[in-house]
Chain A
Amino acid sequence: MILLPCPYCGLRNASEFRYVGELSERPDPNATGIEDWRAFLYMRDNPAGWTTETWFHRAGCRRHFVVERHTVTNEVRDSRLPAAQLRDREDERATGGNVADDRGGATY
């Protein structure tokens, strides 16, 4: 069983997590044509190699996070918070917000 590095909890058995899926950027729902929206819904890169994907620590901290994993070896080289949270933290920092924990890009 592979181990996954949760940015909050550290390395844990993969059985604690749920695989959410290949990371894909949601298009603007008000400015997207049918073709792009359906591509977002259904089309996948599905590479045999490094892929970026979302996982959910279902039996742990219940946090979604982003993982870079090799789909042939199942090796994991990076895990980090979702981009929206990282952006959010950047914003907070820019506005002098209180950043309690900036360990966003823990690398393994």
Chain B
Amino acid sequence: MGIFNNRNGSENGYRKPARYSAFDLFRRGLSRADWPRAWRKHDLRPSYDVVVVGGGVHGLATAYYLAANHGITDVAVLEKGYIGSGGSGRNTAIIRSNYLTPEGVRFYDRSVKLYETLSADLNFNAMFAQRGHLTLAHNDGSLRTMRWRAEVNKLEGVNSEVIGPDEIKRLVPYIDTSEDVRYPILGALYHPPGGIIRHDAVVWGYARGADAYGAHIHQNTEVTGIDVVDGRVGGVKTNRGDIATRVVVNCTAGWATLISGMAGVRMPISTFPLQAAVTEPVRPFLDPVIVSGTLHVYVSQTDRGELVFGASVDPFTSYSMRGTLEFTEGLAGHVLELMPSLSRMRVLRQWAGLCDMTPDFSPIMGTTPVAGFLIDVGWGTYGFKAGPVSGETMAELIATGKTPELIAPFGLDRFERGDLMGEKGAAAVGH
């Protein structure tokens, strides 16, 4: 798979993009030639085979795999702001597959696999750094959950193990593993394939790839309505004009309820802000990603040297992305409980994104009662890490009309059936 070695793509609209490599960088540096646009601008066509709502990693990956894997290129991705302006550009860029349920592990493992080859497939370096991922356990119960996850992970072929405080200290010398603290560290789930990535680069890489195949990426294009006639989708209305289409995919986060509502589909979703913060850079000292569910915090250090922090979602629903002081206060307290020597590091910026939380901390993917209206929503706090596999499976669903096995457990009808997913225990603070 990949833009350069896949020849299945439609002839119509395929444009081989300028190749990115050290050699080409050097060549253009010498000649001072400009690089071409990574994705083009287009007028809105009156109709598309498929309309993807939401220009984040999910929507762009869906468009990319529709073309790359299935030859479907008459696709529009509609983004009301700029691409990656929602959750894709606001998350803390953590990738992992150490989930609790076998279904979850299989699904996210496929995503990690896709992430591992993504830079090469897209010819765009997203700088995936598999530095390892540590989920700390501060009490018996969470240590038991870590062991549960490790055992399920191993059975699914995913590298996870429970390690003790000494090993934690070896991996992260800055962590306070002493016993006389309020929340002593009893152990951790260590997941070596986990890590961080340049989240924006994933968005841009997929956009460039989808564009190369001929998909149209429409920024500043807001969906204002969805036409449903006799229980099936007929088109979408946007601030730039109407589009006729028989397939609409809702790939939004934060606005999933509203977009689905336009098609008359009710969602089991509550939207909560999720905040994050970043410090000034310091010299690299922290390799793995650290998560503590008890302390509601996760920390990683970027290649630039900044610490990136996140926590659990805000305590009440809101569509506000203004951020709160309580968030940074609580966060700092918890970070310093883990790593007291960081007290003089400074928080440079805080921000918020919107998370569509579902009752069972699992996404909602697949068909809806409205024919042609598909959903890839309810991504809570774990949507970014699922971007590639979601795009791949949603593309397969659109192309084949059959729900891929990997996403079968995540259907909307599970709520009416009462077959909820069991991720709740592990995902409360699941980065």
Q: Which residues of A contact B (CB under 8 A)?
A: 1, 14-15, 18-19, 21-22, 34-35, 38-39, 41-48, 51, 53, 71-74
Q: A1-B325, A42-B359, A72-B320 are in contact. Are A22 and B267 (CB under 8 A)?
A: no
Q: Does B324 contact A (CB under 8 A)?
A: yes
Give min CB distance, B257 to chain A, whole Å. 4
Q: Which of A42, A46, A51, A73 has a CB less than 8 Å from the CB of B415? A: A42
B315 touches A46 (CB 8 A): no
Residue total for B at the interface (Cβ-Cβ under 8 A): 22
* B268 contact set on A, CB distance < 8 A: 42-44
How many Å lie between the Cα of A10 and that of B410 in the bound state? 44
B317 touches A71 (CB 8 A): yes
Q: Write out, one digit per residue, whether chain B residues 238-271 have a CB within 8 A of any chain A CB (1) or not (0).
A: 0000000000000000010110000000111111
Q: Which of B269, B315, B318 has a CB less than 8 Å from the CB of A44? A: B269
A71 touches B416 (CB 8 A): no
* A15 contact set on B, CB distance < 8 A: 326
Q: Which of A22, A39, A42, A71 has a CB less than 8 Å from the CB of B318? A: A71
Give min CB distance, A40 to chain B, whole Å. 11
Give min CB distance, A35 to chain B, whole Å. 6
Which chain A residue has the least Cβ–Cβ distance from B255? A48
Q: Which residues of B contact A (CB under 8 A)?
A: 255, 257-258, 266-271, 315-320, 324-326, 359, 415-416, 418
19 contacting pairs across A/B (C-beta < 8 A): A1-B324, A14-B315, A19-B316, A21-B270, A22-B270, A34-B416, A35-B416, A42-B359, A42-B415, A43-B268, A44-B257, A44-B270, A45-B257, A47-B258, A48-B258, A48-B271, A71-B271, A71-B320, A72-B320
Which chain A residue has the least Cβ–Cβ distance from B317? A71
> Apart from A15-B326, A72-B319, what 4 extra A-B contacts exist at CB < 8 Å?
A18-B315, A41-B359, A46-B270, A71-B320
A1 touches B326 (CB 8 A): yes
Which chain B residue has the least Cβ–Cβ distance from A46? B257
A43 touches B266 (CB 8 A): yes
Nearest 6 Cβ contacts at the A-B interface? A19-B316, A42-B268, A46-B257, A42-B415, A48-B319, A72-B319
B271 touches A46 (CB 8 A): yes
* B318 contact set on A, CB distance < 8 A: 71-72, 74
How many Å lie between the Cα of A14 and that of B327 in the bound state? 13
